[in-house]
Amino acid sequence: MIQNLPILIPISLILFAFLSAFLGVMRFRLSQSVALLGALISLVMAVFGLNHVLQEGAISYHLGGWPPPEGIEFVLDHLSAFMVLVITLVGFILLIFPTRPGFLMDEQRGVPLYAMVLMLIAGLCGVVLSGDLFNLYVFLEIASLSTYALVSLGSGRAAFSSFRYLIMATIGGSFYLLGVGFIYFSVGTLNMADILQHLPAVYDSPAVIGGAVLIVAGIALKMALFPLHTWLPDAHSYAPPIVAAFLAAVQIEVSAYVIIRFLLDVFTPELMTATVPLTTVIGWASAAGIIVASVIAIAQTDFKRMLAYSTVGQVAYIGLGIGLANPLGIVGALLHIMAHALMKSCLFLIAGGVYHKTGIKNINDYKGLGRRMPWTMAAFTVSALAMIGIPPTAGFFSKWYLLLGSFDQSNWVFVGVILGSSLLNAVYFFRLIEKVFAPSEDKVEKGADSRGELSWRMLLPIILFAAGILVVGALNVFIVDRFLMPIVAGF
Amino acid sequence: MDSFFSIQPLMAVLVSLAAFGLIILFRNRPNLREAVTVIAAVSKLAVVLSMLPDVLGGRYPEITLVNLSPDIGLALRADEAGIIFAMLASMLWVVTSFYSFGYMRGLSAQRQTRFYASFALCLSATIGLAFSANLLTFFLFYEVLTVATYPLVAHKGNPEALAAGRKYLAYLITGGVVLLGAIAYTYQVAGTLDFNAGGFLPQDTAVSSLAILFALFLIGFGFKSAVMPLHSWLPSAMVAPTPVSALLHAVAVVKAGVFGLVRAVGFVLGPEQLHQAGALPFMLAAAAVTIVVASLLAMRQDNLKARLAYSTIGHLSYIVLGLALFDAMGWTGSMMHIVNHGAMKITMFFCAGAIYVRTHFANISQLDGIGHKMPWTMAAFTVAALGLAGVPPVSGFISKWFLVQGTLNLEEFALAGVFLVSGLLNAGYFFPIVYRAFFKKPGTKLVTGEAPLIMLLPIIITAGLSLFFGLFPDAVFGFYELAERVGQSVTGGGW
């Protein structure tokens, strides 16, 4: 049973996706319950898998019994177990959020949505579990296809942004596939472990270098690495809240995972730092992205759009950690994946809940909400402080490791960027905190029905995320020592 | 000096953290909510005092919780410097609690739950940073203090208060960021962050690294301790309710900045290393300029709280100047001035608040003859004014004596002159208030008497403390003994 976990996780999610759709057609309320059950099962498997990996090492599953390098391999090692845990945990908590505020449509029309979300989760799990380059591409496209559909369901110019995203992500995917082709021509295998063995002999071949560049460029496009981020703000701000949360929290980060995986286990750090300065490019592009995105975020008045730009900046932190290409940098990047997943999900759900309850989208209208929704706004404050990087939240500790990594490299510019961006984040989040807790002048005007706290079903996932931010902060050393250090042990 | 495991430091932090939760829980029952504040304040003081005999006996209660970063624990340890600050803060929290009940109810202020809850959180953070055993723990509490004070500064919620809050955050978050850089760099250089009397940087640290670290720490903590030109948030923050100005802007927050400098100079970088690198004169100069300029600016303020704020800026730099003296006596003076200035300045803020509650007067020019109507209040004010000007037997004299001795030991006569001139300037901006209060004819509108007893008693107690610390600096709390030990252990010298 345990040995089959690498395949069971994505397969069961796909199974539940079908179940959710079929049962949903009969009784539409069932679709969410079934989806939630599926996500819970995958979460439980992820926890068992992680535990097993920590106790006894990686699990390799050979599809159809064909051993690699000929057969398809699924691998649950430290890195993929960590990522699967983040994906399924965030996915599960997000699915608790009710349909109407979460997808902006009623339960009846929402039936196919849950199937698509499960497909998205399955695709992402598949990406991180794949042991070969082509399979990774297949799962990446499964995830992307569900994303296009989900984004297009949003409000405003959602359909247009979805189409634009489709074009951009497809270009990214094609670059990746082309790069994989180059690698395959050079070494004649697609299995990651196998490539790692054979590739160093041909590092100076133009095909390998070209392949590496194409792969990183393609993934950077999907990761919205500055300046390839232009599709993201539209797609994420028009998408329904749950979708936006899932994209910002997990989907983008899985692209970052792909780069980390290539850096550590496919190419060796040598190829990506010494032979071709790919990590350096990623690092500096990210450093610029952090600053630019934060400045643009300050100028936004729509809350979700501000969050979308903030995502560009936050993902760039992960890119910066990759750019450092040292153990502390990667640890910081991975911890930031987890921290950012929690805080950004929390914030998008709050945006969705507040919009549902009061119709407020604009930052300026958040005035006085602290009094009306004390719990929601307490959670908001926690996530906002985490975004700024105030201890003891999770957001502080990921920055702390990135900072140590930058000092390790004596990269003073990165130090300045990490520190300076905290100030920029403080500007746009404290602006909101100030509004939220300032006394509101127009209590009467908004009408009686717009008052009061969110319903408990909306509140529950929000509070869970906020609590998670504090727990991850308090337990960061446990996570770093147990989960993350083994990943970078090879450095 | 050895340490032993004890949960006392943790208890001291948790008491007010628990109060934070309970205050929110009892938000609809004001009496219970305020009872929680008092109980927490008193038990916090009791816990802190219970550690005093051990610390005086040379044993430090210590506890390490989870790790914050590999090799760096969330560690609390009550050493001499820490317990001086903790005793001061928790002692004054008790009196401030009573005072703020009178003040907030007297003005029927809004959002009192948020006020008391933030206050409790601030105190929790203050004690936490007093007892922090390493820089990262210190930073954690330092940032919590910054954030928790924000709602108190912006309490009134009017545009002026919000603007002050924004300014406060802009200054202090910037300071925090600079500080974070300093801490990470320290870790890079030294491989540890545990405080150690006399500093823990390796002997072979390059002068350039030392200079960068010193500059970063000085700027980072300079924001909170309002060293010029990083001071301007403090006068603006005076829009906060008076108990906040009194406890936080005279004692907890700004002293947290100064205490940070104590830790950075004395326990991280080491005065000796800084002295040899020739870095200390920069700090001396900044402090000396701040003392003189702040005193001159204080004279121009008509708003009583603004004048007190500038006076605070000046007196904080007394402490900063003492820390920059590589001399045990100077350090002793600084540590004592942390306590003495706290007691005296809080008295003055309390007086300003009492006057405001009774008369709604905020300006000095309105105070003609107020001494006849509020004799006790103004008598307390006079005691504190004398002390800050350095007149014996009030406690301000003693700390100043040591500070001047410190400058003379180093033959820095110009700096001794700064202290003497500043004494005159202090007299120059405080005595006119006393003169107006007692010797001018009251205006026609003055019909009220003393503030209610719940406000008056704290005033008299803190004024009494100012006298008590002046007459018996070593009694009961052992402040003098503790300060002297800090000075000697940090500078490695005696006298």
pLDDT digits (tens, 9 = 90+) for B283-296: 889 899 999 999 99
> Which region holds residue B278: left if phi is over 0, alpha if psi is between -120 and 50, else beta?
left
Residue B495: pLDDT band (50, 70, 90) is low
Nearest CA in chain B to A385: B147
pLDDT at residue B31 in the model? 84
Going from the C-alpha of B368 to that of each of B362, B385, B426, B445, B451, the distances in angstroms are 12, 17, 20, 11, 17
pLDDT confidence of residue A121: 94
CB-based contact A423 B185, cutoff 8 Å? no
Query: For the segment B297-306, what is each residue's pLDDT rounded down to a tens digit?
Result: 998 888 888 8
Query: pLDDT (tens digit, 9 = 90+) per residue, B225-279?
Result: 888 888 888 888 888 888 888 887 778 888 999 999 999 998 998 888 888 888 8
Give the start-to-end residue ranges of the domains of chain A.
2-490
Confidence of residue A444 (pLDDT cuts 50, 70, 90): very low
CA distances B165 to A297, A298, A386, B76, B171, Å, are 21, 18, 20, 30, 10
Bridge-based pairing of strands B2-5 and B59-69 is parallel
Taking an 8 Å cut-off on Cβ atoms, the answer to whether A480 and B70 are in contact is yes
Distances (CA, A) of A123 to A18, A90, B33, B432, B443: 14, 15, 52, 77, 80
Q: What is the enclosing helix (H) or strand (E) of B64?
A: strand B59-69
pTM here is 0.92
| A388 with B157: Cβ contact below 8 A | no
User: What is the extent of the structural domain holding B293?
Assistant: 279-495
Structure confidence at residue A36 as a pLDDT band (50, 70, 90): very high
Q: Which residue is associated with the tokens 């990943």?
A: A487
Which residues, 6+ apart, have CB-to-CB distance to A475 below 8 Å? B66
- Residue B300 neighbours by CB under 8 Å, 6+ apart: none
Residue A468 has pLDDT above 90, yes or no: yes
Nearest to B166 among A420, A434, A477 (CB): A434
Confidence label for A437 from pLDDT (cuts 50, 70 and 90) = confident
Q: What is the mean pLDDT of residues B71-99?
A: 90
Q: Which of B70, B166, B188 sits opposite A481 (nearest CB)?
A: B70
Q: What is the pLDDT of residue A350?
A: 93
Q: For residue B35, is it within any domain?
A: no
pLDDT digits 0-9 by tens, B435-447:
888 888 776 666 6
Mean pLDDT of B425-434: 90
The per-residue pLDDT for range A324-379, each reduced to its tens digit, is 988 999 999 999 999 999 999 999 999 999 998 888 888 888 888 888 888 899 99
ipTM: 0.89
A427 → chain B, closest CA residue: B170
pLDDT at B67 over 70: yes
| CA distance to partner chain B, nearest, from residue A288 (Å) | 19
Q: Is position B47 within any domain?
A: no
| Cβ <8 Å between B166 and A390 | no
For helices A111-129 and A5-26, angle between their N-to-C axes, nearest 10 degrees: 170
**How many Å apart are CA A196 and CA B120, to the nearest integer?**
57
Q: Give yes or no for residue A44 having a pLDDT over 90.
A: yes
Establish if B293 belongs to a structural domain: yes
Instruction: Specify the number of domains making up chain B.
Output: 1
Chain A: nearest CA to B376, how far in angstroms? 37
Residues of chain B in contact with residue A385, where contact means CB-CB under 8 angstroms, are 147
Contact by Cβ (8 Å): B30, B100: no
Residue type, B197: A
Are residues A385 and B70, on separate chains, in Cβ contact within 8 Å? no
Q: What is the pLDDT of residues A366-398, one digit of tens each?
A: 888 888 888 899 999 999 999 999 988 999 999
Distances (CA, A) of B478 to B336, B338, B396, B441: 11, 14, 16, 44
Helix (H, G, I), strand (E, B) or coil at B156: coil
- CA–chain centroid gap for A156, Å, is 24
Amino acid symbol at B129: L
What is the number of CB-based contacts under 8 A between chain A and chain B?
76
**Chain A contacts to B (CB-CB under 8 A):** 385, 388, 390-392, 396-397, 400-401, 403-404, 407-408, 415, 419-420, 422-423, 426, 430, 434, 437-439, 474-478, 480-481
pLDDT at A446 over 70: no
Question: Is the pLDDT confidence value at A51 over 80?
Answer: yes
Mutate to test the interface with A, among B188, B189, B216 (most CBs of A within 10 A): B188
Which residue does chain B place closest to A368, by CA atoms? B157
Judging contacts by C-beta atoms under 8 Å, the chain B residues touching residue A391 are 68, 139-140, 143-144
- Interface touch B177/A404, C-beta < 8 Å: no
> What is the model's pLDDT at position A440?
65
pLDDT digits (tens, 9 = 90+) for B136-160: 999 999 999 999 999 888 888 888 8
Mean pLDDT, chain B, rounded, equals: 88
Write out chain B residues lying below 8 Å of A420, CB-based.
Answer: 177
The pair phi, psi for residue A76, each rounded to 5°, is: -110, 95
- Whether B397 and B387 have beta carbons less than 8 Å apart is answered as yes
Q: How far is CA B167 from CA B174, B223, B310, in A?
A: 11, 12, 17
Q: What is the pLDDT of residues A86-98, one digit of tens each?
A: 999 999 999 999 8
pLDDT(A449) > 80: no
Residue B338 lies in a domain: yes
Q: Residue B494 domain-assigned?
A: yes
Handedness of CA B444, B450, B451, B455 (dihedral sign): positive
pLDDT (average), residues B39-65: 89
Which pLDDT tens digit goes with each residue over B8-47? Answer: 889 888 988 888 888 888 888 888 888 888 899 999 999 9
pLDDT at A366: 85
Burial of A64 (C-beta count, 10 Å sphere; 0-12/13-18/19+): exposed
* C-alpha–C-alpha distance, residues A184 and A214, integer Å: 13
